[in-house]
Amino acid sequence: MGREEAQGGKSEEEDGRVKPPVYRIDPAAPHHATVVHALQRNAAAIGAQDGIAVEARTLSYRAYAAAVAGLAHRLRALGAGGERVAVVMPNGLETAVALLGAMAAGAQVAPINPGFTDPEVLRALRDAEPRIILCRADWADRARRLAPEAGAAHVVVLGEGGERIEPWAAGTSLALPEPLPQPGDLAAMFFTGGTTGVPKAAQHRHEGLMAHARAALGCWPLEQDRERVLNVAPAFHIWGFWFTALVPMHAGATTVIVPVYKPAAVLEAFARQRITVFAGGPSAIYVGLRGNENYRATDFSHLKFCLSGGAPCAEELLTAWERETGTAIFEGIGMSEAAPIAGNPVKGRRKIRSVGPPVADTKIEIVDLDTGTRVLPQGEAGEIRLKGPQVMVGYRNRPDETAHALRGGWLYTGDIGYFDEEGYLFVVDRKKEMILVGGFNVYPREVDELLMKHPAIHEAATVGVPDSFSGEAVKAYVALKPGAALTREALEAYCEANLVKYKRPKHIEFLAALPKTSVGKLDKLALKRM
């Protein structure tokens, strides 16, 4: 793992470290130059198969490719080639076509959250500097108002009230505008979540996106041309983009999308759409499904496995979901800058609370928090850094931020973690979220995990708050399960029995529900502002 670089040539055997399990890409698996080439292959090889389904609307792979080709020609005529195209749309059939159509036109696609406020979306648009903005009719007025400030030359409205994809899908031509995108061309940018600072646009090439797909399929394999994959994550987030326009496409799977995360609609889709793989997402997705009245009656008989990333799942949730549905949730880790990084293997040993071994072609090291150069031994927590083909090329228009994140060929993730004796990665917390109490490090996840084990607690999150005595103190925000009762004194006694004094919450606040980001993660920035 590169320890010899920092510690004078000691082998892993000499310093007692254990080599992690190694993922390998199946050499017989399809290898596509770009996701556009994957779509072309699927249209030719499995054209009659469902390519994408959104509620009652379905496109075969051939119709999907024809719709993408029609939009690509439209965008190329507007000068999209070599430029950027912003897609400001919620999940839907048109959104999937827009993402692929922009890349097929030779543009770099910039998915942006349509729920942003005007200042937020304008900041993203100014970063992206798109030539074209794609949106739905209900967003058209905002797009036309903001376009001049963002330097966008055109606004194209897709769907009802704008340009319909159905005539393109029904067309006979699958020919794409030439030249086709190449592996080294810029393909997409993903805006960081922004819960710890101003969002930045992480840029990726086509070859990087293909590395994303191969790495994901290396640890979470999909049977070629057979799976039906359900996605509920928004396409403007890298996880949602993966399962809208990338991973299922690479494997020739059918992509099933629920436009808006509503537990009842998601549960109904499992049976109606014969879902074999649930892309899932943060733990809040699964918590919401289990809390729905239809959960116990849902048919999960076609389901093979489920995935989670973005926020850790509590052990109680993982075990309960598997017991109740008969399928396991496999956790992994990724970020807008590189995804995936590590993942629990579907074919292999899954470790609860671990995010798994490093994915294929990826090198991970744990380094000290002070210098970021000293590689730490197995079992010791430090910052996670990595090298791999899935790493971004940098932040758009942010040279200083890029230089800080990419140092010496390594991507510094800002996550704190450690390797166990079998090479499985455990994420302790975010570097910036670490709480320093009187000189002692407190990792919020550890406290959160303990709170979540209390039978009365539905959700919990801890943050650091200023303290005149210790510098910082731990504050816990707690939401109770319906009908549950828990006093502050009882919770304090529970923490006293399970945590050393400096880790115990000094402040406790009960909320009806904890705030979430647009992608379902706990919004700790919002908590810190309370």
Note the pLDDT of residue 31: 87
pLDDT in tens, 10-64: 434 344 445 556 787 777 777 899 999 999 999 999 999 999 999 999 999 999 9
Q: Structural domain of residue 517, as residue ranges?
A: 434-529
210 and 157, same domain (yes or no): yes
Residue with tokens 């195209």: 85
345 and 442, same domain (yes or no): no
Section 271-289 average pLDDT? 92
Structure confidence at residue 257 as a pLDDT band (50, 70, 90): very high
Structure confidence at residue 2 as a pLDDT band (50, 70, 90): very low
Tokens matching residue 133: 């903005």
Dihedral sign computed on CA atoms, order 322, 328, 329, 332: positive
3-state class (DSSP) for residue 500 = coil
3-state class (DSSP) for residue 355 = coil
Structure confidence at residue 201 as a pLDDT band (50, 70, 90): very high
All residues at 6 or more sequence positions from 221 whose CB lies less than 8 Å from its CB, including other chains? 346, 347
What is the rounded CA–CA span in Å between residue 380 and residue 367? 9
405 and 473, same domain (yes or no): no
For the chain, percent of residues with pLDDT exceeding 70: 95
Section 488-505 average pLDDT? 93
Residue 508's DSSP bridge partners are: 476
Note the pLDDT of residue 529: 85
Lowest mean pLDDT among 10-24, 83-97, 158-172, 218-232: 10-24
Identify which of 122-126, 140-144, 368-372 has the greatest average pLDDT. 140-144
pLDDT in tens, 150-198: 999 999 999 999 999 999 999 988 999 999 999 999 999 999 854 344 6
What is the rounded CA–CA span in Å between residue 61 and residue 252? 9
Domain count within the chain: 2
Q: 234, 250, 253, 284: which is closest to 116 by C-alpha? A: 234
* Exposed / middle / buried, residue 312 (Cβ in 10 Å: 0-12, 13-18, 19+): buried
Note the pLDDT of residue 254: 98
Q: Is residue 78 part of a domain?
A: yes
* Type of residue at 221: P
242 and 323, same domain (yes or no): yes
Q: Is residue 269 part of a domain?
A: yes
325 and 470, same domain (yes or no): no
Q: Tell me, what CATH number does 499's domain have? A: 3.30.300.30
Q: Is residue 447 part of a domain?
A: yes
Residue with tokens 């991970």: 364
**Between β-strands 440-442 and 425-430, what pairing exists: parallel, antiparallel or unpaired?**
unpaired
449 and 300, same domain (yes or no): no
Q: Rounded to 5, what percent of the chain is helix, strand, coil?
A: 35, 25, 40
What is the rounded CA–CA span in Å between residue 410 and residue 262? 39
Dihedral sign computed on CA atoms, order 23, 24, 25, 26: negative
Note the pLDDT of residue 228: 98
Answer yes or no: is pLDDT of 314 > 90.
no
If one counts every other C-beta atom within 10 angstroms of the C-beta of residue 408, the result is 10
Section 253-267 average pLDDT? 95
**Between β-strands 363-367 and 382-387, what pairing exists: parallel, antiparallel or unpaired?**
antiparallel
405 and 467, same domain (yes or no): no
Note the pLDDT of residue 410: 98
Answer yes or no: is pLDDT of 374 > 80.
yes
Selected residue with higher pLDDT from 300 and 283 = 300
What are the residue ranges of helices labelled H in 378-425? 399-405
Query: Are 227 and 254 in contact, with CB atoms under 8 Å apart?
Result: yes
Structure confidence at residue 76 as a pLDDT band (50, 70, 90): very high
What is the rounded CA–CA span in Å between residue 90 and residue 240? 11
For the chain, percent of residues with pLDDT exceeding 90: 76
216 and 349, same domain (yes or no): yes
CA-to-CA separations, 490 to 13, 339, 473, 487, 497, in angstroms, rounded: 48, 41, 20, 5, 11
Strand order across the beta sheet in which 394-395 lies:
154-157, 132-135, 84-88, 108-111, 186-191, 201-205, 394-395
Q: Is residue 22 part of a domain?
A: no
Final residue of a domain: which of 394, 419, 444? 419
285 and 225, same domain (yes or no): yes
What is the rounded CA–CA span in Å between residue 441 and residue 19? 28
378 and 239, same domain (yes or no): yes
Q: Is residue 14 part of a domain?
A: no
Q: Is residue 29 part of a domain?
A: no
Tokens matching residue 432: 């910036």
Q: Is residue 30 part of a domain?
A: no
Q: Is residue 1 part of a domain?
A: no
Note the pLDDT of residue 101: 98
- For residue 179, say if its preceding peptide bond is cis, omega within 30 degrees of 0: yes
Note the pLDDT of residue 21: 66
Q: 69, 252, 97: which is closest to 174 by C-alpha? A: 69
Section 437-460 average pLDDT? 89
Biggest CA–CA distance in the chain, Å, is 73
Q: Tell me, what CATH number does 411's domain have? A: 3.40.50.12780
Q: DSSP code of 184?
A: T
Distance of CA 363 to the CA centre of its chain: 20
Q: 295, 236, 233, 234: which is closest to 270 by C-alpha? A: 295
Final residue of a domain: which of 355, 390, 419? 419
What is the rounded CA–CA span in Å between residue 463 and residue 442? 10
Final residue of a domain: which of 373, 391, 419? 419
pLDDT in tens, 348-360: 899 988 999 999 9
* Exposed / middle / buried, residue 372 (Cβ in 10 Å: 0-12, 13-18, 19+): middle
The C-alpha R_g of the chain, in whole angstroms, comes to 23
What is the rounded CA–CA span in Å between residue 115 and residue 133? 15
What are the residue ranges of helices labelled H in 436-512? 444-452, 488-498
**Between β-strands 305-308 and 329-335, what pairing exists: parallel, antiparallel or unpaired?**
parallel
3-state class (DSSP) for residue 169 = helix
Tokens matching residue 411: 């991507």
Task: Write down the mean pLDDT value for the chain.
Answer: 91
Note the pLDDT of residue 12: 40
For residue 142, give the H/E element and its range: helix 140-150
What is the rounded CA–CA span in Å between residue 94 and residue 512? 36
487 and 368, same domain (yes or no): no
What is the rounded CA–CA span in Å between residue 263 and residue 240? 17
Distance of CA 33 to the CA centre of its chain: 23
252 and 113, same domain (yes or no): yes
What is the rounded CA–CA span in Å between residue 309 and residue 294? 24
Selected residue with higher pLDDT from 285 and 276 = 276
Note the pLDDT of residue 193: 53
**Between β-strands 50-54 and 57-60, what pairing exists: parallel, antiparallel or unpaired?**
antiparallel
Question: What are the backbone angles phi and psi of residue 195, rounded to the nearest 5°?
Answer: -80, -15
